[in-house]
């Protein structure tokens, strides 16, 4: 079995071709520019970050001649284009790094750790980039933060050894003694500077108060070390521009289980780890998520915590914000489109409607006691009720509503996979709510109230209108 030959390239002042103009290409370009390369980008469409970069842009399809005169090629385009690039480069004896496309690559980039002049690269020969990423995390945690001091000590020792003509076999033991002395001195200094602290994430962790977070209104610049980002109901087309900007510059993304991972890879080349929670499945503890964010931020990484819906609507985003504030980590909350509103809306159901409901109640299906108190506080059939994470308890919820005087004929809807190709919608009454089985493994939203009838009215109107428009079907929301 052949093995890959590891090497580091000096690209300073040398021409590098990047084929592709999306967020992934933008991430590769950042690294190339940091290496001093002269970058040319070829793509029909160009990401705004690339347009702002110091690169040559050819806004068109790739041509074989684009490879002429290049030292290195990065193919970050769809696979048919990557195949074309690979063939053109092969005939010119130029190596190609095809992003997430090992079949059309002749060079593979590994997980890279850089700190104070030390570079560690880990490769799995293109077979398992995620494993390379995990190993990179381990090495990053292992490398001492005092590595620059170690290098300076080693340089001084090497000059002394040369002057004194110290034999080579004696140098390594002497270097280890010097480094052990530095490590011992550093440990004593850290011990003397330590202070009692708490990681509870509560306001008491800062003497009973938290620093004023100030305004979170974006000014267009990406400043925060950590971003708590809402990803909306499912379709990446509903991600905000601010969310995409943070993803494009991220080093680490911790994402929820319902995030579209294929779409995520279009917007970032960061390390991505799923930390989402799903009912009935083993999941990452919330405290562990806090530690991961804080540790990465303290290592200088830009972190995105990508959450379904909106971070502050049953997303435990406030807990994460408190943990970051207590650790004195700069963060920004990027709002997302909450599934509580988006899922009904995309199914043609408003949560408020004149003559039906002037308000709506959003509940978590996991919080049984909170549901009891909330339903007791409202008059039956006076508001719309939206329940997130309540598919498993929908029959019990219907019984509670009827017991509190809600009419048995009250309309109800179940929306699963809102805004995705797997979208599934059921409508009926609350007495039928528990008898219908949604698709297995999907997340869903329950909607209860007269507003559900608006969907039927829209469907009827669309059917009538479609008879008058040849070849066209009138649609509402994204209902399939």
361: exposed, middle or buried (Cβ count in 10 Å: 0-12, 13-18, 19+): buried
* Catalytic site includes residue 307: no
Which is the catalytic residue, given 256, 269, 301, 310? 256
Beta strand pairing status for 271-274 and 331-334?
unpaired
* Catalytic site includes residue 277: yes
Which is the catalytic residue, given 15, 116, 260, 277? 277
- Residues annotated as part of the active site: 256, 277
């Amino acid at each position: 079995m052949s093995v890959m030959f590891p090497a580091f390239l000096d690209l300073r002042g040398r021409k590098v071709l990047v084929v592709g103009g999306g967020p992934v290409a933008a991430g590769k370009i950042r690294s190339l520019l940091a290496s001093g390369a002269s970058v040319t980008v070829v793509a029909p469409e160009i990401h705004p970050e690339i347009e702002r970069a110091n690169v040559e842009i050819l806004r068109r399809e790739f041509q074989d001649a684009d490879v002429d005169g290049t030292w290195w090629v990065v193919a970050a385009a769809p696979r048919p284009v990557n195949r074309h690039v690979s063939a053109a480069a092969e005939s010119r004896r130029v190596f190609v790094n095809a992003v997430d496309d090992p079949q059309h690559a002749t060079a593979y980039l590994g997980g890279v750790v850089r700190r104070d002049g030390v570079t560690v690269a880990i490769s799995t020969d293109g077979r398992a980039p995620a494993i390379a990423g995990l190993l990179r995390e381990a090495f990053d945690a292992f490398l001492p933060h005092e590595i620059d001091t170690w290098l300076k000590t080693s340089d001084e020792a090497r000059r002394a050894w040369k002057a004194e003509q110290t034999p080579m076999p004696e140098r390594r033991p002497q270097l280890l003694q010097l480094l052990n002395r530095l490590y011992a001195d550093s440990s004593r200094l850290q011990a003397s500077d330590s202070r009692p602290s708490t990681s509870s994430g509560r306001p008491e962790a800062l003497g009973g108060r938290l620093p004023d977070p100030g305004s979170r209104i974006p000014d267009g610049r990406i400043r925060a070390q950590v971003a708590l980002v809402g990803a909306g109901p499912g379709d990446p087309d509903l991600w905000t521009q601010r969310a995409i900007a943070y993803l494009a510059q991220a080093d680490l993304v911790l994402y929820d289980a319902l995030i579209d991972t294929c779409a995520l890879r279009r917007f970032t080349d960061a390390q991505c780890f799923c930390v989402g929670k799903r009912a009935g499945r083993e999941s990452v503890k919330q405290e562990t998520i806090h530690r991961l964010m804080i540790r990465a931020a303290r290592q200088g990484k830009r972190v995105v915590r990508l959450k379904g819906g909106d971070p502050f609507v049953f997303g435990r985003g406030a807990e994460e914000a408190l943990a970051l504030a207590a650790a004195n980590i700069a963060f920004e909350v990027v709002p997302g489109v909450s599934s509580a509103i988006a899922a009904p809306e995309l199914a043609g159901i408003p949560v408020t409607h004149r003559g039906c409901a002037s308000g709506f109640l959003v509940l978590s299906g996991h919080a049984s006691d909170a549901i009891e108190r909330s339903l007791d506080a409202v008059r039956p059939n006076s508001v719309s009720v939206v329940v997130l994470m309540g598919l498993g308890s929908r029959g019990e919820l219907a019984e509670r509503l009827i017991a509190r005087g809600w009419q048995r004929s009250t309309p109800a809807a179940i929306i699963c996979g809102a805004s995705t190709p797997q979208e599934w919608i059921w409508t009926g009454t609350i007495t039928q709510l528990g008898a219908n089985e949604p698709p297995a493994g999907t997340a869903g939203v329950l909607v209860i109230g007269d507003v559900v009838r608006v969907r039927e009215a829209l469907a009827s109107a669309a059917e009538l209108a479609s008879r008058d428009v040849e070849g066209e079907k009138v649609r509402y929301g994204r209902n399939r």
